[in-house]
Structure 1
Amino acid sequence: MTRLSVEMLAADAPPPITSAGHAQLGIAVLVGIAVIVLLITKFKLHAFLSLTVGALVLGAVAGAPLDKAITSFTDGLGSTVASVGVLIALGAILGKLLADSGGADQIVDTILAKARGRAMPWAMVLIASVVGLPLFFEIGIVLLIPVVLMVAKRGNYSLMRIGIPALAGLSVMHGLIPPHPGPLVAIDAVKANLGVTLALGLLVAVPSVIVAGPLFSKVASRWVDVQAPDRMIPQRASDDLERRPSFGATLATVLLPVVLMLAKALVDIAVDDPADVTQRVFDVIGSPLFALLAAVIVGIFTLGLPAGFSKERINATVDKGLMPIAGIMLIVGAGGGFKQTLIDCGVGQMILDISKDWSISAILLAWMIAVVIRLATGSATVATVSAAGLVAPLAADMSTTHTALLVLAIGAGSLFFSHVNDAGFWLVKEYFGLDVGQTVKTWSLMETILSVVAGALVFVLSLII
């Protein structure tokens, strides 16, 4: 297992803002997380406010001066928003262009026209994965639910046979694949290479979604044999459009940022010379900011204009895409503030001191921490950013590959067993017309399978790469 030189790390790190011992720091972490969990689950307080209060409680219990705890939190919030805020905004704009132009419908309709019978669950995975690439999970659900209901009704499929693969495709993108906010924050926290993380994330995601999606849906459809509920299927985005973009142009636009980031990773491996012109060029065009910005600009011409959008409507689409992400950005930022408070109080060093003689893998430890926080808070994003802050010091002497795998272990753990404290749980329950028990046997178990399979694959890769 990759280990740290604790003495070297301690020499380079700034002094903690508290002199608390390991026991007091451990108690502070537990109390801080417990406060966040209580505020989110019991008092239904917004995750942004809960994380803010939890960070300050953590600092207070750890014995840190309140002004220093506030500074740590605001510094962490600012640096996190600075590093991923623009990327979240660009991803939201691209997703809104994709939805409003009818591009998402074009991808869906084209793939469904080619799929029949037993191929349909696999087609649903493909649709959800492609459409979900630039979209947040909740937006992806809202976008795909009409398709899932339509396919289930017209083809007389069990809703679980069609719905579970679609949900698995969305979830795996949300947990493992940048540019989603959780993976981006974890990449920033542990200083991982985005291109390598993306490449390994795709390698882990494919078998994970196959097991948790089409294969598990066979079992889920027997356990919960329900049909699509009799409700009015919501109007699709392209129903009021005279025309919509082509399938090829839409797919190329969605995949453009992924291709650019993967190209950068391949060039970095092949060239490995910072002074080389080719590598410097790909360092620019393969950066997340440039890749997503390029996709948005290209999307205006390949999605907006072919759909007949005027300049005014394109601007309105951008505005609408940005408005819903304020809460998401603040939650991610507050998670970064909580992470920085953990680090500045010395919790990261405490974990190093305690775990340096353990035989447990850092990859497994990261997965377990993310699982615990996910179960407690119900939020995959909160689990990701909190776990990333806790295990970030473990990445100090890891290789580029293992640092990327650490990010994926955190992402996999953040998907574990969605239950009643997760908004996604209720979203799935209400859209599919299930009761709580049926939702646990389908959605919750699917998330758990996805988490365990992805975590196991990441662990195996850490042993052989």
Structure 2
Amino acid sequence: MTRLSVEMLAADAPEPITSAGHAQLGIAVLAGIAVIVLLITKSKLHAFLALTIGSLALGAIAGAPLDKVLTSFSTGLGTTVAGVGVLIALGAILGKMLADSGGADQIVDTILAKAGGRSMPWAMVLIASVIGLPLFFEVGIVLLIPVVLMVAKRGNYSLMRIGIPALAGLSVMHGLVPPHPGPLVAIDAVQADLGVTLALGVLVAIPTVIIAGPLFSRYAARWVDVPAPDRMIPQRASEDLEKRPGFGATLFTVLLPVLLMLAKALVDIVVDDPENLVQRVFDVIGAPMIALLASVLVGIFTLLRPAGFSKERISPLVEKSLAPIAGILLIVGAGGGFKQTLIDTGVGQMVLDISKDWSIPALLLAWLIAVAIRLATGSATVATVSAAGLVAPLAADMSTTHAALLVLAIGAGSLFFSHVNDAGFWMVKEYFGLSVGQNIKTWSVMETIISVVAGGIVLLLSLVI
């Protein structure tokens, strides 16, 4: 396990904006997080406002000058949006193209046509994992749940037997695999390599989604045996389209950014010469923004044109795809502001100083911090961003692979036990027509399994690579 050189970090660390001791900083962190939790859960305040107010409360209780707290928050917000804002926007455009062109329906129907009986849960987890690569979790739920309900009703399957694998596929992609916002922010915070994180994220995701999806769904179906609610009628996005895009072309478009980023990581490992022309070319085409932009441009010809979209329809589609992500960008940005406030007040260094005498591994510490924030705030993204800010100093002398594993440990912890303060909890409950107790037995347990299994695999990988 890679350990931290505290003396080296202390010498390079910027001067904190407050002289508060560890006790005061600890109280400030707890108070800041408590403010965020209470504002989100009790006052039903938007997470952007809650994070902003929580950051100010943190700085004030830590004894930092208000003008410096505002500067830290603004700097963190701007840096975070600059780092991941374009990627989130491109991902939203690709997701909208996939949905409106009928490409998502094409993938779903093609796989379902070849699956049946005992293989159906495995087909559902495959569908969700593929569709979940370019889509935000909430968008993936809206897109896939009607299909889940239709398959369960048409094939007389237990709703949990079909639904849990689909939810597991979406959730694992959301928490562990870039270009989802949480992993991207964590990668930026700890300065991890995106290609290596993506490769290791997929490696961790495969066994995790198998255990939490098809395998756990057997037990979930026994614990909660409910039929698909009739009130949910699937609406096919491609009903008024001239023609659906082909399965192969759609799959290629979805996987193109992943392939480009993985190719960059592979070339960097094999060539390992920053001056080499081949490596320089792949460093450009494998950059996240270029990879996603390439996928969007390719999607115009592989998704939209086959579906009969004219040039005049493409611009409105892009505009409609960007409007819903305004809230996401603000939340992610405010999370970055909160993270920077944590760092500038010296909380990251405090965690470093306290943990240097612990026998607990750095990756386990990152997982536990993310778990605590997830339980408190209900948001996987907030948990990821905040935990990344707290443990960022731990990555200072880590190898490339261990820095990537630190990101995955944070992502795994951010998925732990979704409950009543999580919007996803209520989305699943309402779509599936479950009671709160039934949702906890299925959805909440599934999220916990994902978190524990993925965290365990990350720790095992850290021992062998």
TM-score (norm 2): 0.99
Letter of the aligned partner of 2:87 in structure 1? L
- Indicate the residue corresponding to 1:188 in structure 2: 188
- Comparing 231-240 with 60-69, greater Cα deviation is found at 231-240
* Pairwise CA distance, 1:242: 2.2
Corresponding residue of 1:226: 226
Matched, 1:290 2:290: yes
Partner of 2:203 in structure 1? 203
Q: What is the letter of the counterpart of residue 165 of structure 1?
A: P
Letter in 2 for 1:113: A
Contact (CA 8 Å) 2:232, 2:431: kept in 1 or not? no
1:372-383 residue pairs with structure 2 within 5 A? 372-383=372-383
Task: Say yes or no: does 1:14 pair with 2:36.
Answer: no
Count residues with an aligned counterpart: 465
In 1, the alpha carbon distance for the partners of 2:454 and 2:159 equals 25
Structure 2 residue matching 1:419: 3-state secondary structure: coil
1:287: Cα distance to partner?
Answer: 0.5
- 1:72-113 deviation digits (Å, cap 9, x = unpaired): 000000000000000000000000000000000000000000
Task: Give the 3-state SS of the residue equivalent to 1:360 in structure 2.
Answer: coil
Letter in 2 for 1:123: A
| Corresponding letter in the other structure for 2:58 | L
Given that 1:146 and 1:236 are in contact with CA atoms closer than 8 Å, whether structure 2 keeps it comes out as: no
Query: How far has the Cα of 1:313 moved from its partner?
Result: 1.1
Aligned-pair CA distance for 1:214: 0.2
Identity %: 85
User: Is this contact kept in 1: 2:405–2:458, CA < 8 A?
Assistant: yes
**Displacement of 1:11:** 1.7
The CA deviation at 1:316 is 1.1
How far has the Cα of 1:232 moved from its partner?
4.3
For residue 105 of structure 1, give the secondary structure of its aligned residue in structure 2: helix
Higher mean alpha-carbon deviation, 254-263 vs 348-357, is at 348-357
Please tell me whether the aligned partners of residues 186 and 388 of structure 2 are also in contact (alpha carbons under 8 angstroms). Answer: yes
Residue aligning to 2:249: 249
- In structure 2, how many angstroms separate the alpha carbons of the residues matched to 1:68 and 1:2? 34
Counterpart of 2:68, as a letter, is: K
In structure 1, give the amino acid aligned to 2:263: A
Unaligned runs of 5+ in 2: none
**Distance in structure 2 (CA, Å) of the matches to 1:403 and 1:58:** 27
Q: CA deviation at 1:230?
A: 1.3
* Structure 1 residue aligned with 2:154: 154
Corresponding position of 1:460? 460
Q: CA offset at residue 236 of structure 1? A: 1.4
The aligned residue for residue 103 of structure 2 is: 103
Separation (CA, whole Å) in 1 of partners of 2:463 and 2:338: 31
CA contact (8 A) 2:149 2:232 kept: no
1:230 and 1:254 map into 2 onto residues whose CA distance is: 31
Q: Tell whether the 8 Å contact from 1:59 to 1:69 is kept in structure 2 after alignment.
A: yes
The residue aligned with 2:130 is 130
Alignment of 1:60-75 (within 5 A): 60-75=60-75
CA displacement 1:273-329 (0-9 Å, x = unmatched):
000111100000000000000000000111011100011211111011100000000
Question: In 2, Cα distance between the equivalents of 1:124 and 1:3?
Answer: 40
The one-letter amino acid paired with 1:348 is G
**Partner Cα separation in structure 1 for residue 306 and residue 77 of structure 2:** 39
Unaligned residue ranges in structure 1 (runs of 5+): none
Decide whether the 8 Å contact of 1:35 with 1:50 is kept in 2: yes
Q: Residue 64 of structure 1 contacts residue 345 of structure 1 at CA under 8 Å; is this kept in 2?
A: yes
2:86 is aligned with 1:86: yes
Contact 1:74–1:337 (Cα < 8 Å) also in 2: yes
Question: One-letter code of the match for 1:233?
Answer: I
Is this contact kept in 2: 1:175–1:411, CA < 8 A? yes
Q: Partner amino acid for 1:391? A: V
Separation in structure 2 between the aligned mates of residue 309 and residue 287 of structure 1, nearest angstrom: 29
Task: Letter of the 2:272 partner, please give it.
Answer: D
What is the CA–CA distance in structure 1 between the aligned matches of 2:117 and 2:123, rounded to whole Å?
A: 10
1:12 to partner: Cα distance:
1.6
Q: Which amino acid aligns with 1:160?
A: M
**Which amino acid is the alignment partner of residue 426 of structure 1?**
W
SS at 2:238's partner residue? helix
Deviations 1:7-62 (A, max 9, x none): 22122222100000111111110100110011011111000000000001000000
SS in structure 2 at match of 1:240 = coil
Q: Displacement, 1:461?
A: 0.5
Shift of 1:241: 1.1
Two-structure CA RMSD over aligned residues (Å): 0.6
